[in-house]
Every structure is written in structure tokens, then in C-alpha cells.
Structure 1
Amino acid sequence: MQFQPLALANVQLITLKVFQDARGSFMENFRLDQFQAHCGPYQLVQDNYSVSDASVLRGLHFQLRRPQGKLLQVTRGRIFDVLVDLRPNSPTFGRWEGIWLDSQLPQLLWVPPGFAHGFYVAEGPADVSYKCTDYYQPDDQFVLTYQDPELQIQWPCDGQPLLSDKDQRGQSWAELLPLLRN
């Protein structure tokens, strides 16, 4: 496993080593010791799996009181994954980063607790598997609008993305900022 820090503080892109021969391939997908050495002393307690059609945009989701770190991998399709740093004491607070993740590349993305997270499906259907550091709490779920005018996230959408009702009602950065600073 190769760990590469990205532009936002504490975010890691993890490239997996694939062993191939005439029978097929094998890769180590997760090692707690290496994960904790590079990402921190987190425990992964919940495993989620989503399937999304092309042009679906999910997010930007976060939990405020019980933030979830996420270790995610695209197992089918191609997505543009976006993170927004919501940690007031972070040197990258209020900044976003986007990264392409593709099932053809053996990579994982570590999103630490304290980030809003979402993705756009460029090639679908896309299957995304992600392990979380805390349990899903519906009463603690917030959505930062994907088209916030202040953040100006450069989504690679081809036309209007398909959104859930919840994601259509996402709040702006300006609306959420007082909650984040408390």
C-alpha cells in the first residue's frame, strides 16, 4: 500500500498493490496497522455500499456532532469525489478538493472525520464501498449544497445531475458556518 497525502489536511489517497498471474489477481485491500500508522488511530465500525447510475450526484453529506471518517473505494464505474474541510481549527478549513476515482485503478480514499463528502458519477453505474469511523445518525445528518456560490466547486457534470430530495434541499456554506464554528 502506498499512502499519498492530498492537498486537504489529513486526506490520503491509498494505492493498492495488485499481484497478477495466469489465474487472475490478488490484492490486500485493507490493513489496520498500516491504515492507523498513516491515517490515525481510528476504528472502522460501519460498512456501506452504494450503487448509483450515471449523472447521479450524492452529497455533500456530513454529521456534525458525531462526524464520520470514511475509507472509500470505487468497485465499479468512475466518480468525481469531492471533500470540503469543515474543521474550524484545520489549516484547510473551508477549502474543497476533488479527485477522480475509477474502478480500474486499485485505490482507496481516506476522508477524515470533519469533512463534507459527495460524489458525481461520470461513468455508471458506479458501486462505492465505504467504511465509517462512526455510525450513521439520521438526526445528525446535514447536507451542504453541491452548488454553493461561495465554495464554487467545479463539478464535471454533463447537464443537470440527478439528486435526491434531501440533496436538493442542501444548505449553503454561509448558512452552515455558524453551526461549524460552535
Structure 2
Amino acid sequence: MRMARAWDHLSTAAGVAGLAAFAVAAFTPVAAPLDRWLSSAPDAGQADAVVVLGSDVDPNGRLPEDSLRRATEAVALYRQGRAPLVLMLGSRNGVASEAESRARLAEGLGVPASAVLTEPRGLTTAVEAQRSAELLLPRGARRILLVTGAHRVWRARRHFERAGFEVLAAPVPEGAPTSNTPGERLSAIGGLLQELAARALYRLRGQV
């Protein structure tokens, strides 16, 4: 009987805590400080190449907002003279690959085709780092500007350093942590907690 009562109390407490966490996530701007804490600041300096990590593409080759942000950031860095070469990453979805769609966008924005490389075979950041090394290191391109979401720089940097690169961060914004709608706040919190879990798993695997 005592065990049953204790279990009931524990279940009630867990339910109350869950509801409280939901309310905080949905109806307060708690995502904003967590977003700032997880985000990386950009690094200054010149590089041998800009490397743009994959995000997503639809089967018709259209780039969603996050992928467009990364691609246009790479174009901006190239046009600023930060690096003479751009490597667009991004896997294939149906007939189109994200890397190829990004390359067409970059060329349409004035980046010469000779300055753009594509690699559509990387399905994970670790594989993208290895593919990038195979393409860039033989060209003498060791120092890179790494373009990815601001929350993902921490893990991506380590993969690319292990592959032999010197990494300068070139983060782009992710999500909308300061949104006023509960649904968007919950979505933002979910993405931030997912990144926290991924970092914890990375450490547990002994990769840092």
C-alpha cells in the first residue's frame, strides 16, 4: 500500500513538472537565452575555401529556408574575398541534390563556375568532413570557413578538425527562438534540446 501511494505521488509530481515545463517552453521566451548559449560566433580571417554543410532540398531541387541561408552566406563570403573557392555539400533527394542546387544558385549570383565545387554524397557531418578532405586537401585548401547553422558549429568544427582542417566558423541563424507564438516556441525548444542531446552523445562516445 505504501509503495502504491509513493508511486502515485511520484506520478503526480512528474505530471505537474511536465505541465510546468510545457508552460515555460510555450509561453515564455526561455528559448532565447538557450539559443544564444548554443550559438557560435563568427571567426574573422581569410581561408582557402568556404565549405557549406548540407541541410535539405526537395525532390524538384528547391532549397528550403535554412539551406538558402547557408548558400547565400557562402556567396557573401566569396564576394567579400574571404576565400577563392566554395564547396557546396548536400545529399540527393530524388532527381536533385542540394549541392547542385546550391551551386546553380551561387553561379546565378555571380560566383564563377570554376570557383564552385559540389559534393552530394555526404549523409552525415562526419562523412561530409571526410569527403571535403578528399576534395580540398590535395588542392592545398586546409584553412576553411565552415558555414552551418549557428547551433551546429560546435560539433561540425570537431569533425572537420579531425579530418585535417583548420576551421573558421561562419554560422548562420537557425529557427525563431524569440517568436511570440507558443507553437513556434515549442518547435524552437525542441530543436535546441535535440542539439544538447547530440552534444552529450558526442561526448559520451569519446569524440571530444
- Higher relative contact order (CA closer than 8 Å, sequence separation 6+): 1
**Greater Rg by CA:** 2
Larger strand proportion of the pair: 1
TM-score of the superposed pair, with normalisation by structure 1: 0.29
Larger helix proportion of the pair: 2
